[in-house]
Amino acid sequence: MTQKHIFGPVLSRRLGLSLGVDLVPFKVCSYDCAYCECGHTTEETLARRAFFPAEEVMAELQTVLSSRPALDSITFAGSGEPTLSLSLGPVIAAIKREFPEYTVSVLTNGSLLPDRAVQDELLPADRVIPTLSSVSQKTFERIHHPHPSLNIEKIVEGMIEFRKRYTGQLWLEVFIIPGLNTTDDELAGLKSAIARIGPDRIQLNTLDRPPADSWVTAASNDELKRIREFLGRPGIEIAGLDSPVSPAVLERTAAPELIYATLCRRPSTLDDLIRTTGLPDTEVVKILGSFEQKGRVSAQRRARGVFYVIIPEPPVRKG
């Protein structure tokens, strides 16, 4: 059975062995982030819709989860904004009812958190991870190119209200772009907002793969450490530095399938795959070589190096 809405499991730097759930069509989002690895948004909207029936998504999940695979997280993510889907609440509720042993995580840009109905649907999740990269409207627009009606102050207020209602783990992602949200004024505004929101954990992230806009650059580890010190609170992690995936997690799934599933979601360099999986470089090279020989992946040179990209299977002709 081909899965339309389920991907992985993949190894996530933040969440370990993660089974992804994608509830929206490719690049339907409320933002058009300059740093997005999926490219530019094709439909920017705030209108929530039932893009796919919840029953269709749950049928795929039941197929995958019926064997009770070992997972660190079932994660609502993908190539758009999951809170735009009216299936979000029903699918979360169904997972918690039918597969309560799993941790449910939701990666969201946070733009719809002022909506009480969205908050209600997120309450049963074990972990919600919204993004907050600036409290300045000008910088917010520069980074995220949001839907014209979005206001960062209202979004922050939505996060504060949600935190008051939510009993699960609230993690906050802060995406850093050097020279844009790294000034003392920018960081002071973030520090104040973070104190008001009160997240359980903060994850500093920066560019790791080719962005939608070529002007976006990555912050150095030294810069990220400086920002962590400026924010000055416990529970601040630097993605890829403080939270590498333990190699022990590889015992839960076969390495070739893990690497292939990762490449299905995003092109990666050899170093990306070594860092993400924790596998020896010789083993990753061997697996990638096997994929290339079978015509499953191709190597493409880009600005940051050589990326391995899935080769789509040719369509099956009928008749």
User: What is the bridge-based pairing of β-strands 201-206 and 169-176?
Assistant: parallel
| pLDDT tens for each residue of 69-116 | 888 999 999 789 999 999 999 999 999 999 999 999 999 999 999 999
Examine residue 310 and state whether it is found in any structural domain, yes or no.
yes
Q: Please give the sequence-ordered ranges of beta strands (E in DSSP) within the chain, or none if there are none.
A: 6-12, 16-21, 28-29, 43-44, 73-76, 104-108, 127-130, 169-176, 201-206, 236-238, 268-269, 297-302, 305-310
Summarize the confidence of residues 148-177 as an average pLDDT.
Answer: 98
Residues 236 and 261 grouped into a single domain: no
| CA-closest candidate to residue 56, choices 26, 94, 82, 19 | 94
240 — pLDDT class (breaks 50, 70, 90): low
Task: Work out the percent of the chain whose per-residue pLDDT is above 90.
Answer: 61
CA-based radius of gyration for the chain: 19
| CA-closest candidate to residue 309, choices 209, 182, 197, 177 | 209
Domain that holds residue 276: 254-319
DSSP SS3 for 152: helix
Q: Residue 319 pLDDT > 50, yes or no? A: no
Task: Give the DSSP letter of residue 8.
Answer: E
The residues, ordered by sequence, that sit 6+ positions from 250 with a Cβ below 8 Å of its Cβ are 258, 277, 278, 279
Domain endpoint, select from 237, 252, 267: 252
Backbone angles phi, psi at 248, to 5 degrees: -60, -25
Residue 21 tokens read as 């759930």
Cβ atoms of 292 and 298 within 8 Å: the answer is yes
| pLDDT tens for each residue of 120-134 | 999 999 999 999 999
Cβ atoms of 252 and 216 within 8 Å: the answer is no
Q: What is the pTM of this model?
A: 0.83
Q: Residue 236 pLDDT > 60, yes or no? A: yes
Report pLDDT for 258. 75
Report pLDDT for 3. 67
| pLDDT tens for each residue of 255-269 | 787 788 778 777 888
Examine residue 87 and state whether it is found in any structural domain, yes or no.
yes
Domain endpoint, select from 252, 279, 302: 252
The CATH number linked to 143 is 3.20.20.70
Summarize the confidence of residues 26-44 as an average pLDDT.
Answer: 92
Summarize the confidence of residues 39-66 as an average pLDDT.
Answer: 93
Report pLDDT for 244. 45
Residues 200 and 118 grouped into a single domain: yes
249 — pLDDT class (breaks 50, 70, 90): low
Residue 289 tokens read as 């070589």
Give helix 255-265 / helix 281-293 axis angle, nearest 10°: 70
Average pLDDT score, the chain: 88
Poorest-pLDDT segment among 43-57, 117-131, 221-235, 300-314:
300-314
Examine residue 1 and state whether it is found in any structural domain, yes or no.
no
